[in-house]
Amino acid sequence: MLPQDLRYTKEHEWVRIEGDLATVGITDFAAEQLGDVVFVELPEVGRTVAQSAAVGVIESVKAVSDLFAPVSGDVVATNTELATKPELLNSDPYGQGWMLRIRLADRTALDGLLDAAAYEALTRES
């Protein structure tokens, strides 16, 4: 079941907005499509990222895929547990599989994100 309180991107990231902090991960659909995730590369804390820029890498057994920043801002935290437990992206994508936290530079960018209904429609098409 797709969490209704999150925002989503067409690149299959989810965003949880709490104040000016955005926690980011990939959706269950994306994790399922990638298959078993075996390696995650995340940006350094402190780095300023621009919306839609590639900020990390997710590798499954079969494929490599980029992680895009869904919003602009400064990276304030990354999930270091993923270095040793990348499989959390498959087992708990919306919880322990979170990837990074960004302090929002500008809240207007949130307007471009999808709500759960729009994202669900998108995954049904593909």
In the complex, the residues that contact other proteins under the rule CB under 8 A are 35-36, 38-39, 41, 57, 59-62, 64, 83, 90
Residue closer to other proteins (CB basis): 15 or 58: 58
Could you give the CA distance from residue 79 to residue 74 in angstroms, rounded to a whole number? 15
Residue closer to other proteins (CB basis): 66 or 106: 66
- Number of residues written out for the chain: 126
Dihedral of alpha carbons 81, 87, 93, 99, sign: positive
CB of 35 to other proteins, least distance (A): 6
CB of 90 to other proteins, least distance (A): 8
CB of 111 to other proteins, least distance (A): 32
Q: Distances from the Cα of 96 to the Cαs of 11, 51, 103, in angstroms? A: 20, 23, 19
Residue closer to other proteins (CB basis): 35 or 95: 35
Backbone angles phi, psi at 40, to 5 degrees: -130, 130
